[in-house]
A and B are shown apart, each in its own frame.
Chain A
């Protein structure tokens, strides 16, 4: 169902939160703090529906989760050695090719989520600075600057929930700014870069203490299928980039593994090996 990509954007628009709404929200919160009302007589939903009966135009592509969502789930399955996976890309690192910058930006934002899990103030601040450098390299610095500053400020105060929210907002603003510049494909590479780095860390952590529950977090076949579809229809300029070709090939290796009913330790090792390789490929030579 999800794999049939619908041309549904004519009637469906992804949004980002705007500051103009914040006043309304704050006022509303005061009113709604007691919880929202429910109407007596509201109909119970059907227990079963036929998703295949939905016309393709009414099915949206799978929403790409942020790394923090899966990290949050992993955290509930026992002690996790977050610090072992934290990495910093130098804030002086500034590659020149745009696909690499986009992939790296997503990857570095994923690093940010990892550093938040590890509650590593210094790393979070360094990552915030790196995001600014990379955003500047693709002309979206102004869009992310307030959020990166908020990340740094909140990290100093150890307000981790705020830092997570601001990393999500940073990724959103980068993608929004790229969409505005008609660079939707680069915007997709940001998400893919984030997923690769997040999955590299996730698989490393699962391998430290393998269990079926932990391995199940890798069950993301529709997401990988979405990335593969996006890469397959990118402009020839991007598709023929050696880095994008490597990413596509790597995702092709991963795709069958994340679709297994029970993802074995061996499969997790393979996914880890591929994502580690891709993460290295994405890093610029000077980092």
Chain B
């Protein structure tokens, strides 16, 4: 995995969001975090990725994971971003092929309530985005997942 330092402004914003307590603990909020994580890659002047309208979410117990089947095309690049609104929880997302082999990630990160993986599949076919709540103090933790392509 590649790691990048946390931008100060981002840290401040997240702290403010967390402090307001105004965000409801729903999958909708978890999705907002996933979308937030995707924003740098799909914005104008960003990396040129186009975000898909379809997004996914649910809730999982700490340590539990879920597989979401996706059809990917060789030649495209994809970003998968996951988020949760549960403070203190950590999440992860990785891509595997049909045989269960980890797809080589050209970039990936995981920090606190966000995680992302960038892949450029070497073949066309079905893959699985494995989303996992790594740890959480809550019995169930809401999560959201979005993906983009270019």
Contacts and interface: CB of A to CB of B under 8 A. Distances in A.
Interface string A57-90: 0111111111011101110110000000000000
A282 B62 CA distance: 47
B59 A11 contact: yes
Closest 4 CB pairs of A and B: A37-B6, A38-B3, A38-B109, A172-B53
A38 B114 CA distance: 9
A181 interface: no
B126 A13 contact: no
B32 A24 contact: yes
Given A40-B3, A66-B52, A51 B109 contact: no
A51 B56 contact: no
18 contacts: A17-B53, A28-B39, A30-B9, A32-B7, A37-B6, A37-B111, A38-B3, A38-B111, A43-B134, A45-B94, A49-B130, A59-B66, A69-B149, A161-B50, A168-B52, A168-B53, A219-B123, A219-B125
B144 to A, nearest CB: 7
A58 B65 contact: yes
Contact of A34 (B10, B54, B67, B76): B10
Contacts of A180: none
Contacts of A17: 35, 53, 55
Contacts of A168: 50, 52-53
Interface in B78-119: 90, 92, 94, 96, 98, 100-102, 109-112, 114, 116
Contacts of B128: 1, 51, 59
A61 B66 CA distance: 12
A37 B67 CA distance: 25
Contacts of A169: 53
A179 B34 CA distance: 23
Contacts of A171: 53
A245 B57 CA distance: 33
A211 B38 CA distance: 34
Contact of A60 (B9, B31, B66): B66
Contact of B55 (A16, A40, A46): A16
Report, as a range, how many residues of chain A touch the other chain.
35 or more
B35 A73 contact: no
A13 B31 CA distance: 11
Name which of B76, B90, B102, B116 has the most chain A CB atoms within 10 A of its CB: B76
B134 to A, nearest CB: 7
Interface in A192-216: 213, 216
B116 A14 contact: no
A74 B9 CA distance: 39
Given A42-B111, A46-B102, A51 B52 contact: no
Contact of B67 (A39, A58, A72, A216): A58
Residue among A59, A61, A63, A213 with the most chain B CB within 10 A? A63
Nearest to A46: B102
B53 A42 contact: no
B74 A38 contact: no
B133 interface: no
A249 interface: no
B13 interface: yes
Most A Cβ at <10 Å: residue of B1, B52, B64, B101:
B52
A27 interface: yes
A59 B67 contact: yes
